[in-house]
Amino acid sequence: MFGMGMPEIILILAIALIVLGPKKLPEIAKALGRGIAEFKKATQDFKESLDVDDDLKEARDAVREIKGDIQQTIQKSVAEGAASVNNGDEDDDAVPAEDLAPPPDKAVEETLEKPVEDHPSPQAETKAEEKESSKDV
């Protein structure tokens, strides 16, 4: 421990006992112990935050790499499609655009744009049935 042996530690404790007195020494030692414990905890928290930052950096790099791969694949597909259109090649298995369903996002938007009145709630249906049954009686 810092090149100090047992005799040096005993000498320091004896001097502290003489200077501070027997009543103050335990209080100061306790406060010093708490301070060291807090310092160790703060150091550990700092190390953990650095580890988290490293993990986030690795994840960010992986996402960027995947994004680049996807962009390259899309650009390659678009270039191949443009080349086949320019060459006049037709795909016999191609489905006409009007036969394709709208993309999921478009279907969701259309559903959300409809007014609420077009979609009666279960409570409204139950109330309508109750009114019809009360008219019959």
Distances (CA, A) of 15 to 9, 19, 20, 25, 124: 10, 6, 8, 11, 87
Task: Indicate if the alpha-carbon torsion angle 89, 95, 97, 101 is positive or negative.
Answer: negative
Q: What is the dihedral of CA 131, 132, 133, 137, to 10 degrees?
A: 100
pLDDT tens digits for 55-106? Answer: 888 888 999 999 999 999 998 888 887 777 766 655 555 555 555 555 555 5
Query: 20, 28 in Cβ contact below 8 A?
Result: yes
Residue 119: DSSP 8-state: S
pLDDT at position 21: 86
pLDDT at position 65: 93
Does residue 48 register a pLDDT over 70? yes
Count of residues in the chain: 137
Query: Which position has the token pair 């049954």?
Result: 133
pLDDT at position 59: 87
